[in-house]
Amino acid sequence: MKKSQKITLISLLIITVFFIIGIKFIPFGTVKYKNEKMVSTLIIPKLSSFDYECCMFSANFKSFRSQYILKKELAKIMDNYEKKTCDSKTYYYDLENDITITEYGVQGGFPMNKFYIVYDKGEYSCDNDNLVSDIIDKSIYIDDFICNDVLDSFYEDELYQYSYPCIKSSYVVVKYKNGIEEPVKEALKKGKITINDLDKHNIRYSKIEKSDSDFTKIVINAKEMKISKNDYNTLKEIFSRVNYNLDTNDYKARYIVELDGNTYDFYRSNNMVGYNGKFAEIDGDNLVNVSNILDFIFSNNDMDNIENVSMKIKDGTLTKTGATVIITDTNKEHYDYGLPFRLDKKENGIWQMLEVTGDGNFILPAYGVDKNNRLELNQSWDHIYGELKNGEYRLVKAVCISEDCNEQKYFSVEFILE
* Secondary structure of 235-268 as H, E, C letters: HHHHHHHCCCECCCCCCCCCEEEEECCEEEEEEE
**In Å, what is the CA distance from 46 to each residue of 17, 29, 81?**
20, 6, 18
State phi, psi for 23 to the nearest 5 degrees: -60, -40
Residues 6 or more apart whose CB falls under 8 angstroms from that of 367 comprise 336, 337, 338, 375, 377
CA dihedral 64, 68, 71, 74 (to 10 degrees): -60
CB contact at 8 A, 44 and 33: yes
* pLDDT on residue 283: 47
* pLDDT on residue 117: 92
Give the span between the Cα atoms of 4 and 305, in whole angstroms.
Answer: 79
Residues forming a β-bridge with 206? 163
Residues forming a β-bridge with 156? 161
- The answer to whether the predicted template modeling score (pTM) of the entire model surpasses 0.75 is no
Give the span between the Cα atoms of 349 and 196, in whole angstroms.
Answer: 16
Cβ-based neighbour number of residue 99 at 10 Å = 23
Counting Cβ atoms within 10 Å, is residue 404 exposed (0-12), middle (13-18) or buried (19+)?
exposed
Digits of tens for pLDDT over the chain (418 positions)?
566 666 666 666 666 555 555 555 577 788 999 888 888 899 999 889 998 887 557 889 999 888 888 999 999 999 999 988 876 778 899 988 888 898 899 988 878 899 999 888 888 777 666 678 789 998 888 888 888 888 999 999 888 899 999 999 999 999 887 667 899 999 998 888 888 889 888 899 999 988 888 888 888 877 778 888 888 888 887 776 655 544 444 455 567 788 888 887 776 554 555 666 555 554 445 666 777 777 777 666 667 778 889 999 999 999 999 999 999 998 888 999 988 888 988 876 677 778 778 776 666 778 899 988 999 999 999 888 899 999 999 999 988 877 766 667 889 999 999 8
CB contact at 8 A, 323 and 415: yes
Q: What is the pLDDT of residues 228-285, one digit of tens each?
A: 888 888 888 777 665 554 444 445 556 778 888 888 777 655 455 566 655 555 444 5
Task: Name the helix (H) or strand (E) containing 197.
Answer: helix 195-200
CB contact at 8 A, 114 and 106: yes
Give the span between the Cα atoms of 108 and 115, in whole angstroms.
Answer: 8
* pLDDT on residue 190: 84
Amino acid at 196: N
Give the span between the Cα atoms of 286 and 275, in whole angstroms.
Answer: 13
Q: What is the pLDDT of residues 335-347, one digit of tens each?
A: 999 888 889 888 7
Q: In sequence order, which ranges of 256-345 are alpha helices (DSSP H)?
A: 287-299
**In Å, what is the CA distance from 3 to each residue of 8, 11, 12, 15, 154?**
9, 12, 14, 18, 85
Sign of CA dihedral 376, 382, 383, 384: positive
User: Could you please report the per-residue DSSP string of 388-402?
Assistant: PPSEEEEEEEEEE-S
User: Could you please report the per-residue DSSP string of 156-194?
Assistant: E-SSEEEEESSS-GGGEEEEETTS-EEEHHHHHHHTSS-
State phi, psi for 45 to the nearest 5 degrees: -60, 140
Give the span between the Cα atoms of 273 and 266, in whole angstroms.
Answer: 8
Sign of CA dihedral 211, 216, 219, 225: negative
For residue 401, which of 253, 279, 247 has the smallest C-alpha distance? 253
* pLDDT on residue 145: 86
* pLDDT on residue 282: 45
Does residue 113 sit in helix, strand or coil? strand
Q: DSSP code of 334?
A: P
* pLDDT on residue 337: 92
Residues forming a β-bridge with 345? 352, 393
Q: DSSP code of 22?
A: H
